[in-house]
Structure 1
Amino acid sequence: MKPIRYTIVPKQPAAHLFEITVTVADPDPDGQRFMLPVWIPGSYMVREFERNIITLRAFNDAGRKVRIDKTDKHTWHAAPVKGALTLRYDVYAWDMSVRAAHLDDSVGFFNGTSVFLAALGHEEAQCVVDIRKPDGPAYRAWRVATALPEARGTKRYGFGEYQAQNYDELIDHPVTLGEFELATFKAHGVPHDIVIAGRVVGLDMPRLAADLKRICEAQIALFEPKSKKAPVDRYVFMTQAVSDGYGGLEHRASTALICNRTDLPVAGRTEMTDSYRTYLGLCSHEYFHTWNVKRIKPAAFAPYDLTRENYTTLLWLFEGFTSYYDDLILVRSGVISEDDYLTMVGKTIGSVLRGSGRLKQSVAESSFDTWVKYYRQDENATNAIVSYYTKGSLVALAFDLTIRAQTGHRRSLDDVMRVLWQRYGRDFYRGKPVGVEEADVEALFADATGADLADLFANGVHGTRDLPLAELLAPAGIEFVPDAGTNGKPSLGVRLRGGAECALAVVYDGGAAQKAGLSAGDVLVALDGLRVTASNLDALLARYLPGAKVEVHAFRRDELRVAQLKLDEPEALRYRLKVKDETSGKSGKAGKSGKSAKLGHGGSHGSSDASRGWRARWLGI
């Protein structure tokens, strides 16, 4: 089978147009069919990338037009030709995200799923793509950042030809074009590039490289504790720094990231800010996916069907467990402190417990329904669904603590991940790819650990009961308490939309606002006759005691409504996980009020030395 050849040109940056050609040297004699994916792996929603294709034409090797018909929303059929067949088309690229394609006069970025048509029947053919520079002196300093292997004659970071073994590999290497900051470090001998596109003042690239090196080496050692062998020959962290943005998408040897430019470290400042810690957590999350989901995959993704939804109930394992390890690796690598880590876990617990959707949908159901629910959330989502990311990370925490408690730390969740890697991931791209079957997961956990995890699978994975986290954390000497913040103001049971108006984004199930008939989208204008705005609501509520009755005026669309409501108890904005007093050897107890009572309570569990040792083994400190 002859190679498929692509050319991509940033033809009109001001108009946000890429021009792409694809040439098939040996097209199907019955007429060659082409397809563009409708979704991108890692982002589980049908996005219809075809909508951005314009002016598609087909030509034979003499340059004459060939008839080509669209047969459905993402597939085309060209008339039979003798010799080679070439398609030429433009793609509108104005999506500043990690999922699609973007082009202007400052930067270009694309995922192959948005720009490269697949020649059906030739998916296993080698692909060669010629990446060209835009015309004009303004683009003289532009470079190319990608993990795609260079073809002969192309220099790293240069324009020219790149290659992939097949179409699946071609679309698994995003590309950044433009001017960018660049640094390289080695993690257990493997080069890792850091690419930062976008204007960033005072970027401390050496600090970022040092922190990422520690994170990457900790993850490599987790999966390969003896050999310390990374699953890639080279890796690229590719970040677009913007004024307001956050997200990441994993690929087999790189990740595409977007962040606020203020998230990045500043030269001369050594403090660990919340925003920088969040960015490092994002990098850690996407890097962990190099093993967990890019090579260890659910059976439904081996291989991907890019023409339709791919259903699995296992995203709690692939996304949730990754969300657990992304922060855990930060503390294990020494990038953050133990207190920082416990604070982050407390915030995650708070975010899960704030929504009643966790009592209605299991993480297995959430995984299956991601195509129609998680990525299409509305104002009622928190009351109807649970996140397989956040709840999944707490499920992973519960598994880890349970395994450690039952085996005296002889086994842990790390052993589960290593068995998954050895059975499914290590040779995924070397032979016939095999994915994890849903029915095999519970037995695999048992084989890897010898622990009895049936209850956690029944209630934590397939059920909707709250996890007994306070009970599980007690042996580590950690107490678990709700925290309503500093003012302890009574609650309306709502979350506000951003902006000056006091507009309700979410109305929580069973809260004061819902009981009074208020709805998401309503705009509060007065509280007991006093004007209310987003900026003064907290101060007004702080004047009341829980249980007080107040009169609220609100607009629903253009109609003024009056509601009488009874204020709720202060909302637990987060949950504090803190080490108990170890100087006296006494063990505190988690509070029994509010939602924490559902999570269990721990009494005394041994000496302070034992608790410190327990945490040291768990956190690797």
Structure 2
Amino acid sequence: MTIHYKISPYDSAAHLFLIDLTISSPNPDGQLVYLPTWIPGSYLIREFAKNIVSIEAMSQGEPVALRKMDKASWQAAAVSAPLTISCIVYANDLSVRGAYLDSERGFFNGTSVFLAVKGQEQDTCSVEIIAPAQIKWRLATTLGAVQVDDSAFGLYQAKNYDELIDHPVEMADFAEVAFQACGVPHRLVISGRHQADLSRLARDLQRICEYQIQFFGTPAPFKEYVFLTLAVGDGYGGLEHRSSTALICKRNDLPLAHETEIKPGYLQFLGLCSHEYFHSWNVKRIKPAAYAPYDLQQESYSRLLWAFEGITSYYDDLTLVRTGLITQQTYLDLLSQSITNVERGQGRLVQNLEDASFDAWVKYYRQDENSPNALVSYYTKGALFALCLDLTIRQKTLGAKSLDDVMRALWQRFGVCFEQNEQGVTEEEWECVAQQTTGVDLSSLFNLGLRTTTELPLRELLADVGVEWQQRVAVSSADKGGWQEAPKHNAPSLGGKTAAETGGVKLTQVFTDGAAQLAGLSAGDVLFAWNGLRLTIANLEQFLSSAQLGEKVRIHAFRRDELMVFDLSVQAALLDTVGLKVVFGLDVGFLNA
């Protein structure tokens, strides 16, 4: 073993890990080491090296000079004996992407704590994970165990650096439940305070996991799988790995023992689990060519994120309805919300899906108040394009083929043998496989959906399978979409999003060509008077509902600390809210397994 890591809690109160890296055969000209700048699955340069508090090197008991080469790499002076590099890392990131340590819990992704050894990234690595003193924690990870104690602390091994950083580690006095899916051991681990019904969680997750394994075909591409979950008061997120996922959810979203229905928060959690699990095939093994292998020192651009995140987003909720966890109408309500989410952003008319994928590094993960006017989500619109693909294939083949067949063909060609040849799929290959598998000429649909901002033909395709489409205005600021028996088609609108602010109402976003923008208002302005009357978040909708379309309204607002006056012409709200329902008596084929 030429590369060995040891990680231990150094100071839980200060959120510090200590990591020792020992290199048995360092480069005789001076070994270079580096920390990744981003983590696979989250396409933003996150500069993990900023959390390195101190770093030093030793060889045969003597200090070795370290020279910092750039923001995330160091060069050690030449030595002829094993080299040990020690660093202290600040770990106070509660997200699924980084590292965290306090007296209640420890968690880390390898990209945040393990320095890579330049030139030896393909060498086998061993990792010793040390338990904290005087704290009874257990450890959960799918990293290969070599010699561990009853609490799973001890020695682990990875065949290379890429594998090392793809197995996050959870350490806490967590709750857990085990289940089998197609003969594969699975575990759900939950840290944080909660009262979740673990048995129900296991039953529901088992249905999701078994369906997806069978969808791609047995055997599963992993020998075990772990859902590493942190329950908090307010939070949400997930990040996929090759045989596990790191999740964050609200503790109140988890099911309680007396609950029998799927409440909205639990539905969202199941959708998140389904999404990250599907990634075990679609992105972890069927990979964009740009990520085979990953270049973790700089951005890796791909125009295929719509296929890897968008298609995964399509199948996450589809899995829930196909397994019977939710009804067809509940699924259509979720789909209505996705369509509404895209409809409400003018960015869909500005940015196409390929550009959205390519620009993830600078746009999607760095959103600001103008983002709804400038970008479209490759997750959400990507899922809608996946639906278009699926319905078109089914229509053109009279139901003989579907997007399911395309995903299985991609798995057989690029996924099954990924561990051996690590071949990624290019943009051209993805489209070619889809057309070869189905026998359908999809070129015009690919061009329209991926390389233009033309509206997707969703309405017509859904009508063809018996789904009725309703286009309406939102009934309130909380309306995310869904079928309304008495829809509104006319209502006044401010043309932006608002939030409560001391002394008034803050404009958080101003939409292109909306009433607020045309009046000269900007995001960040604080509105405090409407025609001379005090304006608050509580009475804003009342003022709007009593206004006439085209009416001129005098708005007093503060921009920074300057008082400004605007004349706003009340506009009609856009018909940007969608509802869907099944035409009575019809069977919607794509919703069936």
Matches within 5 A, 1:54-65: 54-60=53-59, 62-65=60-63
Q: Alignment partner of 1:15: what SS?
A: coil
Partner of 1:47: 46
1:460 counterpart (432, 444, 449):
449
Structure 1 contact 331–337 (Cα < 8 Å) conserved:
yes
Partner of 1:294: 284
Q: Secondary structure of the equivalent of 2:10?
A: strand
- For the 8 Å contact 2:495–2:573, the answer to whether it is kept is no
Aligned residue in 2 for 1:496:
498
CA RMSD of aligned residues (A): 1.4
Letter in 2 for 1:174: P
1:368 matched to which residue of 2? Answer: 358
Deviation of 1:42 after TM superposition, in Å, equals 0.4
Instruction: Describe the superposition over 1:296-320 as per-residue Cα deviations: whole angstroms up to 9, x where unpaired.
Output: 0010000000110001100000111
For the 8 Å contact 2:240–2:277, the answer to whether it is kept is yes
Report the Cα offset of residue 187 of structure 1.
Answer: 0.7
Query: What is the aligned partner in structure 2 of residue 386 from structure 1?
Result: 376
Deviation at 1:524, TM superposition (A): 1.2
| Offset at residue 157 of structure 1 (A) | 4.6
Any stretches of 5+ residues in structure 2 without a counterpart?
Answer: 477-487
Matched residues in 2 for 1:537 and 1:569: separation? Answer: 16
Alpha-carbon offset, residue 498 of structure 1: 5.9
The code of the aligned residue for 2:84 comes to T
Q: How does 1:425-504 map onto structure 2 within 5 Å? A: 425-429=415-419, 431-486=420-475, 488=488, 489-497=491-499, 501-504=504-507
Inter-partner Cα distance in structure 1 for 2:534 and 2:510: 20
Deviation track 1:300-346 (CA, whole Å, cap 9, x = no partner) reads: 00000011000110000011101111111110111111111000000
One-letter amino acid matched to 1:556:
R
Partner SS state of residue 177, structure 2: strand
- What CA deviation, in whole Å up to 9, does each residue of 1:77-123 have, x standing for no partner? 11111221101110001111011111111111110000000111111
The percent identity for this pair of structures is 53
Distance 1:381 1:135 in 2: 47
The superposition leaves residues 15-38 of structure 1 with CA deviations (integer Å, 9 ceiling, x where unpaired) of: 000000000111111111101000
Residue correspondence of structure 1 range 77-476 to structure 2 within 5 A? 77-136=75-134, 139=135, 141-151=136-146, 153-155=147-149, 157-200=151-194, 202-224=195-217, 228-429=218-419, 431-476=420-465
* SS of 2:571 mapped into structure 1: coil
Q: Secondary structure at 2:145's aligned position in 1?
A: coil
Letter matched to residue 367 of structure 1: S
1:272-304: per-residue Cα shift (whole Å, max 9, x none)? 111110111111110010000000001000000
Would the aligned equivalents of 1:350 and 1:572 in 2 still touch at CA under 8 Å?
no
Q: CA deviation at 1:572?
A: 4.2
Distance verdict in 2 for CA 1:49–1:361, change over 3 Å? same
TM norm structure 2: 0.95
Q: How many angstroms does 1:439 deviate by?
A: 2.0
Q: Does structure 2 retain, via aligned residues, the 8 Å contact 1:320–1:392?
A: yes
Q: For residues 410 and 508 of structure 2, what CA distance do their matches in structure 1 show?
A: 40
Please report the TM-score for the alignment, with normalisation by the length of structure 1.
0.91
Contact 1:245 1:260 in 2 (8 A): yes
Aligned match for 1:618, one of 572, 590, 593: 590
Shift of residue 441 of structure 1? 2.2
Distance 2:38 2:395 in 1: 41
Residue of structure 1 aligned with 2:549, choices 543, 546, 551 = 546
Asked if the contact 2:347–2:372 (Cα under 8 Å) also holds between the matched residues in 1, the reply is yes
Cα 1:572–1:101 change in 2 (3 A) is farther
Alpha carbons of 1:547 and 1:578: their partners in 2 closer, same or farther (altered >3 Å)?
A: farther
Deviation at 1:571, TM superposition (A): 4.1
SS at match of 1:542: helix
Change (3 A) 1:572 1:270: farther
Q: Deviations over 1:213-243 (max 9, x none)?
A: 111111111111xxx3211100010111111
Contact kept in structure 2, 1:59 and 1:85, CA below 8 Å: yes
Separation of aligned partners in 1, 2:292 and 2:464: 40
Instruction: Provide the secondary structure at the position in 2 that maps to 1:83.
Output: coil
* Structure-2 separation of matches of 1:39 and 1:172: 13
Residue matched to 1:26: 25
Once the two structures are TM-superposed, the CA of residue 568 in structure 1 deviates from its matched residue by 2.1
Q: How far 1:41 moved relative to its partner?
A: 0.4
Please give the alpha-carbon distance, in whole angstroms, between the structure 1 residues aligned to 2:475 and 2:31.
66
Structure 2: which amino acid aligns with 1:171?
A: I
Q: Which moved more, 1:123-132 or 1:437-446?
A: 437-446
Shift of residue 455, structure 1, vs aligned partner:
1.8
Cα distance in 1, alignment partners of residues 238 and 472 from structure 2: 30
1:549 Cα deviation after fit: 2.6
Q: Which amino acid aligns with 1:182?
A: E
Match of 2:479 in 1: none
Amino acid at match of 1:618: F
For 2:447 and 2:101, locate their aligned partners in 1 and report how far apart those are by CA, in whole Å: 48
- Residue ranges of structure 1 left out of the alignment (5+ in a row): 583-607
Q: Contact 1:316–1:367 at 8 Å: present in 2 too?
A: yes
- Code of the residue aligned with 1:83 in structure 2: it is A
The one-letter code matched in structure 2 to 1:64 is E
| Residue deviations 1:124-171 (CA, integer Å, cap 9, x gap) | 1111111111223xx1x21111111111x3147521111111110000
Q: Contact 1:142–1:178 at 8 Å: present in 2 too?
A: yes
- How far apart are the structure 1 equivalents of 2:72 and 2:13? 26
Shift of 1:490: 1.6
* Aligned residue in 2 for 1:600: none
Q: Is the 8 A contact 2:137 2:151 kept in 1?
A: no
- CA deviation map 1:435-491 (0-9, x unaligned): 001222222111011112122111111110011111000122111112334465421
Distance 1:135 1:352 in 2: 50
Counterpart position of 1:602 = none
* Equivalent pair of 2:501/2:526 in contact (CA under 8 Å): no
- Contact 1:528–1:551 under 8 Å retained in 2: yes
Structure-2 residue corresponding to 1:536: 539
Find the aligned partners of 2:435 and 2:334 in 1 and give their Cα distance: 29
Q: Is the 8 A contact 2:500 2:536 kept in 1?
A: no
Mapped contact 1:9–1:20 kept (Cα < 8 A): yes
SS of the equivalent of 2:316 reads helix
Instruction: Indicate if the aligned counterparts of 1:150 and 1:156 stay in contact, CA closer than 8 A.
Output: no
Deviations 1:420-449 (A, max 9, x none): 1000011111x1210001222222111011
SS of equivalent to 2:231: strand
Mapped partners of 1:460, 1:376: distance in 2: 24
2:581 — aligned with what? 578
Measure how far apart 1:378 and its partner are. 1.0
How far is the alpha carbon of 1:539 from its aligned partner?
A: 2.4
Cα distance in 1 between the residues matched to 2:295 and 2:500: 38
Distance 1:574 1:219 in 2: 31
C-alpha contact 1:546 1:570 (8 A) present in aligned 2 = no
Partner of 2:163, secondary structure, is: helix
On the 8 A contact 2:286/2:418 being kept in 1, the answer is yes
Counterpart contact for 2:306–2:354, Cα < 8 Å = yes
Task: Give the length in aligned residue pairs.
Answer: 579
Comparing 484-493 and 67-76, the one that deviates more:
484-493
Q: Work out whether residues 5 and 23 of structure 1, in 8 Å CA contact, stay in contact via their aligned partners in 2.
A: yes
Give the drift of 1:547: 3.1
